[in-house]
Amino acid sequence: METLNYYPRICDKVLSRKLQLTGATLIVGPKWCGKTETALQAARSVIYIQSDPQYKETGKIMPSLLLEGETPRLIDEWQEVPELWNAVRHSVDQRKKQGQFILTGSATPRDEVMAHSGIGRISRIQMRPMTLYESKESTGSVSLKALFDGEQEIAAVSSLDIPQLAYSICRGGWPGAVTLPNGGESLAREYTDMLVEADISNLDGVERNPHRVRQVLRSLARNISTLTTANTILEDVRANDLTINERTLDSYLNAMRRLFVVEDVTAWSPSLRSKTTIRNSVKRQLADPSIATAVMRVDVNGLLHDLNTFGFLFESLCTRDIRVYAQSNEGEIFHYRDKDQLEIDLIVSLNDGRWAGIEVKLGEHQSDEAAANLIQLKNKVDTSRIGEPSFLMVLTGGKFAYQRNDGVMVVPVACLRD
């Protein structure tokens, strides 16, 4: 069921892979990130649960009726009828075939895994907003997969300059903003306003104060790409809301996680040669840097005149892209920090044990310091246990991709792909 004006997504091949392995595939992710359009590329029939109130009524009484149709059958926003989860699971058991259903959802219902997780029957994909490669802003000259496979010869030129990177951050990776003329920054603001005013309360019927939601989101935005603790966020919000407490903040943060808006980066814990203590704090991140610029009401001009904020948001953009590229290579991302204050922005760890370290620097002139940090990490880890890094990279907003004399790669984010 291919659609017009569709920009191919990295998730397309991930979905194809999953449909060959299990009877159903669940695609989750923030609203407007492109889940439905991606699912439609593979589906042969579709039902939009939110399009007709009768679907919800039927689903509560006899959910199996909603599963009839050509396969793979797409069930869009399935979480509106949680009964569908077990119905799909039972149908997969009965049919004993792969690729029967695709479920999409922009929120995680509380009872998704109440009795049966769906393991072995329903595989899961988390989708994010578009990377620069998917939005056709990255040349894709440098492949993460190729680097992991030992490709050392890199030479490329970035397609984006600093003002264009600032625009990409403020616009975000929302397909509607990328593919429509003059999409600009308005869609990110619409998304944020909808999240604050409606989505977070519609999630589970718990009424949440929109002013408080915005304050929490604004604090997360101000602390993006940092190891800020929940207590710091609490004190930040209390500057304008004395009544909020730790339990309430946890409730709001959990709701944002269930909407796939908050996606922190957890700490990496490798085997080290020394007894250095590794810090386990999470690094604060949102699903897309444009959420931060929207809630803070920062535009391109504002970023260009505040390079400190620009740097944190640039790291957020790089984190979003590397997450997607790592996912395509069956990996995930972490950050590293130890008691000696050595910090590495991103660690990519693949399921087969290979790993790489990445430092993010907006300006290419900062690559010497970043490369020194990466080499220091390499010397700290116990490579006899976890192996040598596949590569070390400084990811920049600069112009050229090349390999330094010390072996560290310098790669503009607008040259990278999966």
Residue 69 near residue 75 (C-beta atoms within 8 A): no
Q: Are both 119 and 170 inside the same structural domain?
A: no
Q: Is residue 316 in some structural domain?
A: yes
Q: Are both 146 and 111 inside the same structural domain?
A: no
Residue 81 in tokens:
């009828």
Give the domain-ending residue among 75, 95, 126.
Answer: 126
Q: C-alpha 36: how far from its chain's center?
A: 17
Residue 41 is part of a domain; what is its CATH number?
A: 3.40.50.300
pTM of the model: 0.94
Q: Are both 48 and 120 inside the same structural domain?
A: yes
Q: Is residue 198 in some structural domain?
A: no
Amino acid at 260: F
Q: Is residue 222 in some structural domain?
A: no
Crossing angle between the packed helical segments 162-171 and 186-194, to the nearest 10 degrees:
30
Q: Are both 73 and 171 inside the same structural domain?
A: no
Q: Are both 349 and 312 inside the same structural domain?
A: yes
**Within a 10 A sphere around the Cβ of 401, how many other Cβ atoms?**
22
Q: Are both 348 and 396 inside the same structural domain?
A: yes
Q: Are both 313 and 279 inside the same structural domain?
A: yes
Amino acid at 278: I
Q: Are both 46 and 174 inside the same structural domain?
A: no
Q: Is residue 332 in some structural domain?
A: yes
Q: Are both 28 and 163 inside the same structural domain?
A: no
Q: Is residue 322 in some structural domain?
A: yes
**Within a 10 A sphere around the Cβ of 167, how many other Cβ atoms?**
17
Residue 113: what pLDDT? 46
**Within a 10 A sphere around the Cβ of 116, how many other Cβ atoms?**
13
The closest of 86, 42, 53 to 67, measured between CA atoms, is: 86
Residue 115: what pLDDT? 42
Instruction: Tally the domains of the chain.
Output: 2
Amino acid at 60: K
Q: Is residue 243 in some structural domain?
A: no
Give the domain-ending residue among 84, 102, 126.
Answer: 126
Q: Bridge-partner residues for 126, per DSSP? A: 28
Could you state, in chain order, the average pLDDT of each consecutive group of 10 residues for the chain (418 residues)?
Answer: 79 94 95 95 94 86 92 93 92 94 83 55 94 97 96 90 96 92 81 89 81 94 95 92 90 92 94 80 96 96 97 98 96 94 96 97 92 96 93 97 96 97
Residue 109: what pLDDT? 67
Q: Are both 272 and 326 inside the same structural domain?
A: yes
Q: Is residue 136 in some structural domain?
A: no
Residue 277: what pLDDT? 73
Give the domain-ending residue among 126, 156, 175.
Answer: 126
Residue 216: what pLDDT? 94
- Which range of residues forms the domain containing residue 409? 142-185+262-417
3-state secondary structure the chain: CCCCCCCCCCHHHHHHHHHCCCCEEEEECCCCCCHHHHHHHHCCEEEEHHHCHHHHHHHHHCHHHHHCCCCCEEEECHHHCCHHHHHHHHHHHHHCCCCCEEEEECCCCCCCCCCCCCCCCEEEEECCCCCCCCCCCCCCCEEHHHHHCCCCCCCEECCCCHHHHHHHHHHCCCHHHHHCCCCCCHHHHHHHHHHHHHHHHHCCCCCCCHHHHHHHHHHHHHCCCCCCCHHHHHHHHHCCCCCCCHHHHHHHHHHHHHCCCECCECECCCCECCCCCECCCCECCECCHHHHHHHHCCCHHHHHCCHHHHHHHHHHHHHHHHHHHHHHCCEEEEEEEECCCCEEEEEEEECCCCEEEEEEECCHHHHHHHHHHHHHHHHHECHHHHCCCCEEEEEECCCEEEECCCCCEEEEHHHEEC
Q: Is residue 206 in some structural domain?
A: no
Q: Are both 276 and 148 inside the same structural domain?
A: yes
Q: Are both 314 and 385 inside the same structural domain?
A: yes
Could you report how far apart the first and last alpha carbons of the chain are, in Å?
Answer: 25
CA angle 266, 254, 282 (to 5 degrees): 15
